[in-house]
Amino acid sequence: MKPIYFVHIPKTAGTSFRVASLKYYGKRSIVCDYGESAPETSDLVKQYAYQNRDYWKLFEQIKRDGSAMLGGHVSILKYVTGLGVANTVVFFRDPLQRMYSEYQHLVRHKKIGGTFRDFFSRSVYVNVFSRKLENVPVEAVGLLGLTEAYGESLSVFNRTFDSDLRELEENKGRKALDQTHQINQDDIEYFLELNDKDIAFYSHVRSLFEQRLAFHNSNLAYAHAKLTSVTTKKISGWAWWAGDQTDPVDVVVRVNGHPVDTVKATALKPQLLRFNPPRAGYVGFSSDVSIEAGDKVDCIVKKTGQVFPLTPEVVS
């Protein structure tokens, strides 16, 4: 089993997930990075990531020790090259609700002052999701979990990573993970204005999660797939299967809803290599199709009927 990389965004049920992982895999199998001085941070991380700055040695030691997971409050690029985007897990939550939970947590435990608006107006708290993902395509991430659908997220995780994590609720400021905070309407409107990028990002994540959950519930294989370029002469993208399956994905290209070509996702995609994708990056596809401005283009995974992107691309 390859080590799982858990990007823990605060107040997204990440503590519940970490505790469930500790109970299932065992404390010695979980490597943590919550900052150089944090007591939760593993000695291995302090030595190789912070003192020696030798990430390769860290990855080698994790593999040698048979560690099941490395996780913490880090941005995705910190460890994705060594552990792989397909092995990466990130939980998301409604951006406003997540922010208010973090504010309340810091008021309770760090005794911070100021209003909620003062807090979320700071630049470090604007568009948190977008900054944590650092331009890594969200479609590539091994598992996108939702706080609001935590149990379903665990179910998809368990099948994807052949595990049996049990649902817990740790570190809660409310009675249940899916309840919402009551927030002043003026603060809501200003927050939405500041975080327009994260609002759109979260909506897209929810749609991807719902598609994957539907395939999970139907016991169908899921493909990580993205259409990356559409012109009047050529379309291109990438695709690979979730989990351990390494067969290439057959992709049906459609124009205005009609199939026009079938291609295999076997071409090298150099721009993905930093994220350490499956098949050593040989996951790309392209099709030399003749299309016109205004046409709508999307693709279907031939084996399962999975459609991507979720909304067809309009040729410009």
* Residue ranges covered by each domain of the chain: 4-217, 223-314
What single-letter amino acid sits at 276? N
Expressed in angstroms, the distance from the first to the final Cα of the chain is 44
Q: What is the pLDDT of residues 96-107, one digit of tens each?
A: 999 999 999 999
Report the alpha-carbon distance of residue 32 to residue 43 in Å, rounded: 9
Read off the pLDDT of each residue in 55-84 and give the average, rounded to a whole number.
97
Q: Which long-range contacts (CB under 8 A, 24 or more apart) does 108-116 make?
A: 108/173, 116/183, 116/184, 116/187
Taking alpha carbons only, the member of 301, 288, 271 closest to residue 235 is 288
What single-letter amino acid sits at 106? L
Q: What confidence score (pLDDT) does residue 94 get?
A: 97
Report the alpha-carbon distance of residue 12 to residue 77 in Å, rounded: 19
Contact, 297 vs 216, CB < 8 A? no
Contact, 3 vs 62, CB < 8 A? yes
Q: What confidence score (pLDDT) does residue 172 get?
A: 47
| Residue located via tokens 């997220």 | 153
Taking alpha carbons only, the member of 98, 243, 212 closest to residue 145 is 212
Q: What confidence score (pLDDT) does residue 182 get?
A: 86
Taking the model in full, what pTM does it have?
0.94
Q: What is the pLDDT of residues 181-191, one digit of tens each?
A: 889 999 999 99
Query: Residue 169 contacts by C-beta under 8 Å, 6 or more apart in sequence?
Result: 13, 16, 176, 177
Confidence of residue 171 (pLDDT cuts 50, 70, 90): very low
Q: What is the pLDDT of residues 294-314, one digit of tens each?
A: 999 999 999 999 999 999 999
Report the alpha-carbon distance of residue 292 to residue 303 in Å, rounded: 28
The domain 4-217 is placed in CATH, from the list 3.40.50.300, 3.50.90.10, 3.10.100.10, 3.40.50.970, at: 3.40.50.300
Q: What is the pLDDT of residues 128-161, one digit of tens each?
A: 999 999 899 999 999 999 999 999 999 999 999 9
* CATH class name, domain 223-314: mainly beta
Q: Give the Å distances, CA to CA, from 6 to 73, 80, 173, 183, 187.
A: 9, 10, 22, 30, 31
* Token output for 54: 């030798």
Q: Is the pLDDT of residue 173 over 50?
A: no
Read off the DSSP letter of residue 227: E
Confidence of residue 124 (pLDDT cuts 50, 70, 90): very high
Read off the pLDDT of each residue in 64-78 and give the average, rounded to a whole number.
97
Q: What confidence score (pLDDT) does residue 1 get?
A: 74
Q: What confidence score (pLDDT) does residue 14 get?
A: 93
Q: Which residue has the higher pLDDT, 316 or 206?
A: 206
Read off the DSSP letter of residue 315: P
Report the alpha-carbon distance of residue 255 to residue 249 in Å, rounded: 19
Which H or E run includes 212?
helix 196-217
* Token output for 190: 């200003």
Report the alpha-carbon distance of residue 218 to residue 209 in Å, rounded: 14
Report the alpha-carbon distance of residue 51 to residue 36 in Å, rounded: 9
Taking alpha carbons only, the member of 217, 233, 232, 215 closest to residue 301 is 215
Q: What confidence score (pLDDT) does residue 301 get?
A: 98
